[in-house]
Amino acid sequence: MKEKLEQLRAQALDSLKGIKDKKGLDELRIKIMGKKGQLTEILRGMGALPAEERPKIGQLVNRIRQELEERFGEVEAEIEERLKKERLAFETVDITMPGKKRRTGGLHPLSSVLEVLIDIFVSMGFDVVDGPEVETDYYNFEALNVPKDHPARDTQDTFYLTDKFLLRTQTSSAQIRVMENRKPPIRIISPGRVYRADEVDATHSPVFHQVEGLVVDRGITMCDLKGVLEQFAREIYGPETKVRFRPSFFPFTEPSVEVDVSCGECGGQGCRVCKDAGWIEILGAGMVHPNVLAGCGIDPEIYSGFAFGIGLDRLTTTRHKISDIRLLFENDLRFLEQFS
Ligand code: PHE
């Protein structure tokens, strides 16, 4: 019996060495010390021993059980320690690893050029106002001295939504809304989208952007118009820039001009950016027509003003040497990321 016990002990200790996880450990524990385990089995046989042997064997059994329990406990602690180490190793943050790069957004070139432009006009005392893109015929045409059947309507192919509503073809509609709601002195710019039923090509898009400007006060003259617009052109294109005023026609201004700047790329020699003209047309402008002032309740005998409409897309493509206006609307990130 003693031998059997020693053998069991030796076997158990041996098996313990091969145990790798808790499941294996529990199984072994049950196999040896469980209710139907090997040690229990041997104990049952004690009844057959002579009486004087029993206490000795009893002691031995207890010693072995105690020893095995200690060893089991140690192995269990080892397993737990190893699991903990593995978990910590897995959860450890390696601070020497390179960080994850996050892509940050950037302003669209139209937005960043608009910001520059707004800064220039705000520094000259202008307010920035918003106007609706869905307009009535009245604000887009009639109040701007373009009555029904006026030929000027044909030059701006209009998207009509209903008989009454249309997509504005020009930000000039914002002039009327401002003059209806403010008393002179007025000094505003109003940037926004405008729409015309144009075929898409490298220089045309059915949606594009204008920045309207309006100044109304006592004694405003063509000199003020020239001064403000020359200053604007030099700030945006550089101090060397030459500015040219050409006579033009708009129904809501009289006299009217178109304003060109010398091409900053070739200095006026002619190149790809200015299409060999040496000049780039950037805006239309003029003295606000007395009919327009009067229609908004501003007495043209007392007040006068000038207005201008800047083509923001043109400004952006020439400033950044972008050859095709469609790039501004396609939102291809490979293109846009060059500006952020
Ligand atoms: N609204 C005109 C256009 O779209 C531009 C303009 C604005 C002209 C203001 C004169 C005054 O062509």
The pLDDT assigned to 137 comes to 92
Ligand 1 centroid to 183 CA: how many Å? 22
Q: At residue 40, does pLDDT exceed 80? A: yes
The CA angle 93-99-100, to the nearest 5 degrees, is: 110
**Percentage of the chain exceeding pLDDT 90:** 57
Residue 148: helix, strand or coil by DSSP?
coil
Confidence band (pLDDT; 50, 70, 90) for 117?
very high
Q: What is the mean pLDDT of residues 69-91?
A: 91
Residue nearest to ligand 1 atom 10, measured at CA: 285
Ligand 1 centroid to 211 CA: how many Å? 9
Concatenated DSSP letters of 307-319: EEEEEHHHHHHHH
Ligand 1 centroid to 18 CA: how many Å? 90
250 lines ligand 1 (CB under 6 A): yes
**Residues 269, 267: Cα–Cα separation, whole Å:** 6
Residue showing tokens 């049950």: 30
Confidence band (pLDDT; 50, 70, 90) for 214?
very high
Ligand 1 centroid to 122 CA: how many Å? 20
Q: What is the mean pLDDT of residues 191-218?
A: 94
Ligand 1 centroid to 172 CA: how many Å? 6
**Residues 118, 211: Cα–Cα separation, whole Å:** 9
pTM above 0.75, yes or no: no
308 lines ligand 1 (CB under 6 A): yes
Higher pLDDT, 51 or 115: 115
Confidence band (pLDDT; 50, 70, 90) for 192?
very high
**Residues 228, 196: Cα–Cα separation, whole Å:** 28
Instruction: State how beta strands 279-288 and 303-311 pair.
Output: antiparallel
**Residues 213, 192: Cα–Cα separation, whole Å:** 12
Ligand 1 centroid to 145 CA: how many Å? 12
Contact, 323 vs 272, CB < 8 A? yes
Residue nearest to ligand 1 atom 7, measured at CA: 309
Residue count of the chain: 340
Residue 232 phi/psi, 5-degree rounding, is -60, -50
Q: Which atom of ligand 1 is nearest to the CA of 284?
A: 8
Q: How does the average pLDDT of the chain come out, rounded?
A: 91
Residue nearest to ligand 1 atom 6, measured at CA: 309
Residue nearest to ligand 1 atom 12, measured at CA: 284
**Residues 177, 186: Cα–Cα separation, whole Å:** 12
Ligand 1 centroid to 140 CA: how many Å? 11
User: Which amino acid would we find at residue 251?
Assistant: P
119-132 pLDDT tens trace:
999 999 999 999 99
**Residues 165, 138: Cα–Cα separation, whole Å:** 9
The pLDDT assigned to 303 comes to 98
283-324 pLDDT tens trace:
999 999 999 999 999 999 999 999 999 999 999 998 888 989
Confidence band (pLDDT; 50, 70, 90) for 224?
very high
The pLDDT assigned to 282 comes to 93
What the block records as the tokens of 319 is 């400033």
The pLDDT assigned to 95 comes to 86
The pLDDT assigned to 269 comes to 87
The pLDDT assigned to 44 comes to 81
248-281 pLDDT tens trace:
999 999 999 999 999 888 888 888 878 888 999 9
Ligand 1 centroid to 251 CA: how many Å? 9
**Residues 25, 15: Cα–Cα separation, whole Å:** 10
172 lines ligand 1 (CB under 6 A): yes
Q: Which atom of ligand 1 is nearest to the CA of 306?
A: 11
Contact, 119 vs 146, CB < 8 A? no
What is the best residue among 169, 250, 257, 304 to mutate for testing ligand 1's pocket, by most ligand atoms within 8 Å of CB? 250
Ligand 1 centroid to 311 CA: how many Å? 9
Of 125, 128, 126, 146, the closest CA to residue 137 belongs to: 146
**Residues 207, 324: Cα–Cα separation, whole Å:** 14
Instruction: Please state which of the ranges 56-65, 67-76, 80-89 shows the lowest mean pLDDT.
Output: 56-65
Q: What is the mean pLDDT of residues 133-158?
A: 87
Ligand 1 centroid to 308 CA: how many Å? 6
170 lines ligand 1 (CB under 6 A): yes
Confidence band (pLDDT; 50, 70, 90) for 155?
low
Of 147, 8, 153, the closest CA to residue 67 belongs to: 8
Q: Half-sphere exposure of 154 toward its Cβ, with a 13 Å CA cutoff?
A: 3
The pLDDT assigned to 102 comes to 87
Q: At residue 219, does pLDDT exceed 90? A: yes
Q: At residue 156, does pLDDT exceed 80? A: no
Q: What is the mean pLDDT of residues 72-92?
A: 90
Q: Which atom of ligand 1 is nearest to the CA of 214?
A: 9
